A and B are shown apart, each in its own frame.
Chain A
Amino acid sequence: MPCGLFHSTYERDEKIFQTKWVKAWLGAFLIFLFAFPFLFDDYLIYNANIIGIFLIGALGLNILTGFTGQISLGHGAFMGVGAYVSGYISTTLGLTFWVALPIAGFFTAAVGMIFGIPSLRLRGLYLAIATLAAQFVIDFIIIHLRPITGGSQGLMVNAPSCFGYVFDTDRRFYFIVLILVIAGVCFARNLFRTKTGRAFIAIRDRYLSAEMMGINLFKYRIISFGISSFYVGIAGALWAHYLTIITPDHFTINISIQYLAMIIIGGLGSILGSIYGTIFMILLPEVLRALSEIVKDSLPYFTFIVEALREGVFGLVIIIFLIFEPDGLAERWRTIRSYWKLWPFSY
């Protein structure tokens, strides 16, 4: 039994699959994911779909915030841009979903890059506020651009179809989401082995040093905004076609906050962290709802208070996590794993 991995070459260290076991487990997990819809009921598949959709967005935000160090409070609105563009193209213009999806991604990327321009001069908190403004401005546009977005009444969107096969049930839609999630994770994981990805990390760690080493800060920050918004635009488009009706209420600042919570709880600057964080944040309200149902049955008098407190528990969980687990779930997972690896002879 080896007591650790000791790499002797750089190539070995950069490998995605560090050991054969990792590869084997991942393969088994993939098979499980493809078998998932045949094993479980609609409720679980629905949650899996939502997790998948938001995971794509969370990956996008993590690329921008976790890896490049640019805080964004506008990703809820960017998600809305993707959703409405895809909805408009596929429903009003009548093009197929498979064309609308990439267009939505690229359009959102363009919008994200425009709102990323202030990052040339702004850092940290100022940039966070600029993206907060993006959130409100885009919200306003969505509500008032009635001919395209349907205003506050919302927009009906078709379910995607392929040669007459309509992806209109949870189970069918699952496979679209799954394939896009796998593509998104693979791209993100590989991105940080390229020059662009390493430039992002250098900018996050110390942007002055990065600039001195010849990294064009503005260019890479804008690229980061673009990639990040592309992801979240795709997530928005998927969500639109999954819900089949979208209203401005779906893309408020609460979504932006939820995205931030996902990547912070999961772990900033970690692909795995985005996954854990998304699963946690999507399942938390479901668990709370189930608990409040139980409380409701035994204490009917408190129903109204329980409803209000659910929101509060959400905040409380975030606070507790940040105070006691500031590095996120991914880090906790790593420490647990390394503890058991050498158990019972840990030091």
Chain B
Amino acid sequence: MNHSLPVEFGMTVAQFSQWLQTPGLHHFLLISGVLFSLGVFAILTRRNAIMVLMGIELVLNAANINFLAFSRYTTGTLDGHVFAIFVIILAAAEAAIALAIVLNVYQNFNSVNVDEINQLKD
């Protein structure tokens, strides 16, 4: 029996309400998981390349929430913060490059729909 599980099966309503009222590591992780899934859904389904980029930003934010949550609740060191800052830096670089590529693609194809762009040059 794993006693550190946040919620055991068959717990009472009072226990669950107590769990809800004390946000901790699991709460942040669950939010991050949902945010990650939403981002992946955007990446997989949207046709517009810029919407795909927005999905990537959601995924990166979910990863950052995880870094900071573990930094706060488990290790107690600031290494997670430094990683989060590097993720933000790379996200900025990625957004700039990706937007430049999207603008170029728009010039060449008059469209930024990822399912219509199937050639490297026209």
State yes or no: do A and B come from one complex.
Answer: no
Chain A residues engaging chain B, CB cutoff 8 angstroms: none
